[in-house]
Chains A and B, each alone.
Chain A
Amino acid sequence: MKSSFALLTAIGIASLAQFATAADITGTVTLSGTPPAEIDIKPLLNDPVCGKLNGGKATTHFYVVGPNKGLADVVVMLKGVPPQAADASTPPAVLDQKGCLYSPQILAIQTGQKLLVKNSDPASVPMHNVHINPTAAANVAAYSTKISQPQMSGAPDLTYDFSAPENFMKFQCDVHPWMFAWVTVVDNPYFAVTGEDGKFTIKNVKPGKYKIVALHRKAANAGIEKDVEVKDSGATVDFTIEIK
């Protein structure tokens, strides 16, 4: 009995120690320069059903810039850390199809993490056809027979689980050719996607020196890399992505 208590205590202390020594990396990504104006998605607006679902207004969202030039939809991740796939306890990520558009358009998930693709559109949109475009060999092999999967209105979620990291895997709907989403698969848990204010937080990073990368699909497709030293109190890294 005593030994069991001692073991539990030791595990508890070890766990607390781990959290105590993990910190967050926070930062802001800002856009320098003037992005091109977003454009109306005319094919969607001209579609009799999908156009109505969006109230006759739908534009591209390639550069989502906040009031302080904060840039949304930037994937920020640590690079060079030991690969670590998600375990069963990791909650699934969700990619929804709503109003004949994907939401969100930019998403990041961990290798091994389940990705649920939902169809929330009404019966007036009979179907979507989810077409993925993996480029990593393992992902290509795993989904060679499921590249394109129809999903009727009200059908169960489609589930994906990618084992290899890759940036901006394109999801598209083959029925509605304006529907796109890009999913970045990261082989560690240390990543985030900036919000509309351009801010991000990567949680529970152990103190140490790392390389950190910011990727934007349009303006920094290859990524901007920086060094960061995470201390017990955490670290702050800001990025500026320039549009020329």
Chain B
Amino acid sequence: MKTAAGVPRSGLFFRPSFLMNQPSNNRWLHRYAVLTALATLALIGIGGLVTSHEAGMSVPDWPNSYGYNMFLFPPSKWIGGILYEHTHRLWASMVGLLIVALTRWLGGRPIRKPLAIVGLIEVLAGIAVFVIWPSEKATGGFLTGIGGLVLLAALIWIRGEAAPRPLPQLGWAVFFIVQLQGLLGGLRVVLFKDQIGIFHATLAQIFFVLLCLIALMTSKWWNRMVTQHTTRDTLVPSASGLQKLILATTALILFQLILGATMRHQHAGLSIRDFPLAYGKLWPATDPASVARYNEHRMEMIDINPITAFQIQLQMVHRIVALLILGAVAFCAWSAWRKHFGAVAKLSAFWLGLIFCQAGLGAATVLSGKAADVATAHVLVGALSLATGAALSIIALRFPALGLASTESKALRAANMNGVMDVGSAGEMPAAR
């Protein structure tokens, strides 16, 4: 049986038109990807509040919360650090839900079978945990619930085609990462391992980057650029100096974020409390007597572990890398504006603005004694800086003509400018290339 439009009626559920559109012609998919990326940025912010308030262990069990089902934990008990940790868990669950739908949407019809298999495996694994380890019934129930949702997503009949490569693959990547993140967050709690927290925080940044790339690649601007750059040779560009620098700087920002996550998960607060000097010097003494003296004078309220020489050196490396990043991004922006044109130049300028903001927040974090809101803003802008660098890297590699003014025609420049103005708006996406 067919509708008037010739669309088959078979299927289990309601099929709104925006879901049935081809991914290559779906403004809602792009908007949904942006929404998911924003929700993830908020999740990183809430995670930052958890560590800034030292609230990571305020709910000692997982996936339950003080024995309650996570979703039924009474708000009257959301006191002290519990407010941050529990909100983080609930928000993460919501992001997980968004990701399952995003994966399904990007993958279209072809993804149904593999998604159903994954969902079924998770349901069966949850039941197995339930039966084999009755004491872990909460974990079994949680796993079964996740699997059930995945299975449901697979069963919902969406007629859409898969989005162009590599979007379905990116969908799978965020699908698995979000589940791994949930597991890591839980293990951090039940195993009391700070190292897991560092990995959890780093993976969150990579996860956010992937979502930003999905949002970018589903945008009207990206589609237009793909249409304009059709020759295969531009798909495998020879890396110019600027491209290499953008890539290297993005990698350096990721390294910097790992350093930051390591510092946050030491639970020792600020190992150096003055700025721009460190204990009044360009490079502080880190011999045992000096470190003992620093600890004698530290007055901490929350991050109460004594600081160590390693932590002082870690913060010094963090400061030096910050300077390197500032210099590298400033050079990228300057090079892009001086020699090139279009998206690379504009995004580089935005990137530089973010890095200046981030440097200011880093200094403010120290001078405010690591105030929770300032430190969390530092985490958020760090995430945005990495995502911007990653987007810039992808653009510079995928569309090298955007950054090579010498080979670019005036017409192409004008087209690029128009395209830049349309970034983020909905539009058509061409077939995969």
Contacts and interface: CB of A to CB of B under 8 A. Distances in A.
Interface of A: 36-39, 41-44, 47, 49-50, 60, 62, 125-127, 129, 131, 147-150, 170, 172-178, 180, 218-219, 221, 243-244
Given A150-B66, A219-B296, 19 more contacts: A36-B297, A36-B299, A37-B299, A49-B79, A125-B79, A126-B79, A127-B66, A127-B77, A129-B58, A148-B57, A148-B192, A170-B304, A175-B82, A177-B81, A180-B304, A218-B295, A221-B295, A221-B306, A243-B297
Interface string B22-64: 0000000000000000000000000000000111011010000
A178 B60 contact: no
A218 B81 contact: no
Interface string B273-317: 000000000000000000011011101011010100000000000
11 contacts: A126-B76, A129-B57, A170-B304, A175-B58, A175-B79, A175-B80, A176-B80, A177-B54, A177-B58, A177-B302, A244-B296
A contacts with B: majority SS: loop
A32 to B, nearest CB: 12
A115 B58 CA distance: 23
The winner among A36, A43, A50, A221 for most chain B CB atoms within 10 A is A43
Contacts of A176: 80-81
Contacts, number: 72
A117 to B, nearest CB: 15
A204 to B, nearest CB: 34
B299 A60 contact: yes
B342 to A, nearest CB: 48
A60 B81 contact: no
Contacts of B297: 36, 243
A39 B299 contact: yes
B303 to A, nearest CB: 9
Contact of B296 (A47, A173, A178, A218): A218
B54 to A, nearest CB: 4
Interface of B: 53-55, 57-58, 60, 66, 76-77, 79-82, 192, 292-293, 295-297, 299, 301-302, 304, 306
A170 to B, nearest CB: 8
A89 B102 CA distance: 65
Contact of A43 (B58, B60, B76, B302): B302
B57 A38 contact: no
Nearest to B84: A177
A131 B82 CA distance: 14
B54 A148 contact: no
B138 to A, nearest CB: 15
A172 B305 CA distance: 11
A38 B300 CA distance: 9
A48 to B, nearest CB: 9
B416 to A, nearest CB: 50
Nearest to A48: B79
A173 B55 CA distance: 10
Nearest to A60: B299
A43 B53 contact: yes
Nearest to B371: A42
* Most chain A CB inside 10 Å of its own CB: which residue of B66, B79, B296: B296
B221 to A, nearest CB: 45
